[in-house]
Chains A and B, each alone.
Chain A
Amino acid sequence: AQKITQTQPGMFVQEKEAVTLDCTYDTSDPSYGLFWYKQPSSGEMIFLIYQGSYDQQNATEGRYSLNFQKARKSANLVISASQLGDSAMYFCAMRGSIGSQGNLIFGKGTKLSVKP
């Protein structure tokens, strides 16, 4: 079975500093994808970044980067130069290649609070 684990219920970061949100996963699929979503208090899930299991390089999207360590089965999100608007829930998710039909498996999330 596929599983996503996010062990940090809440994190605080000072504005303009970098923060790392942890994510570990478990799957037996040979090929899979890892996603990070942001969920502000308004409720909508906003896609941030994607990492494929066979990608040679870590994904980056603007201030977001993904620290992908395949052997450790971890896919941590790094947010550089935090902004007040980054305060939100952050979810790590996975999609496998076998049997899932494309649905995402989510972790429980990490609540990030950016302090001015």
Chain B
Amino acid sequence: DTGVSQDPRHKITKRGQNVTFRCDPISEHNRLYWYRQTLGQGPEFLTYFQNEAQLEKSRLLSDRFSAERPKGSFSTLEIQRTEQGDSAMYLCASSLSSGEISSEQYFGPGTRLTVT
């Protein structure tokens, strides 16, 4: 078990460019979450997958954001036409779909995006 991995760890892009991040969850986990964390704040929920189905999207996820999880394995988060306000740490987490409130989410190391 290698834990949740994210790639890249850091991304610097110019405003208006598109960026894509990847998350590889723990292999047997069927739930996958994306969060965004800005400086001085706690993580904020963006979206959630159970297997390949995207079941919930936060209002924070504007039309410029899209996430996929083909075949229920890794996930990608794409931001189109990036804005300076998109600068943040993007965290991915995975968990087992046990239906229990106590089900722990395991987080990856995050991708830090800087939009210049």
* A→B interface (CB under 8 Å): 4, 31-33, 35, 37, 42-47, 50, 52, 91, 93, 95-97, 101-109
Contacts and interface: CB of A to CB of B under 8 A. Distances in A.
A93 B56 CA distance: 19
B102 A103 contact: no
Interface of B: 31, 33, 35, 40-45, 48, 55-56, 89, 91, 93, 95, 101-110, 112
The secondary structure that dominates the B interface is strand
A52 B103 CA distance: 11
Contacts of A96: 101
Contacts of B44: 106
B110 A103 contact: no
A102 B48 contact: yes
B39 to A, nearest CB: 11
5 contacts: A43-B110, A45-B93, A50-B104, A102-B33, A109-B42
B6 to A, nearest CB: 10
B42 to A, nearest CB: 3
Contact of A47 (B45, B56, B89, B104): B104
A102 B103 contact: yes
| Residue from B43, B91, B93 whose CB has the most chain A CB atoms within 10 Å | B43
Contacts of A45: 43, 91, 93, 107
A91 B44 CA distance: 12
Given A32-B101, A101-B56, A43 B41 contact: no
B65 to A, nearest CB: 16
A44 B42 contact: no
Contacts of A52: 101-102
Contacts of A42: 109
Nearest to B33: A103
A108 B41 contact: yes
Contact of B42 (A46, A91, A101): A91
B101 A104 contact: no
A15 B110 CA distance: 29
Contacts of B108: 44
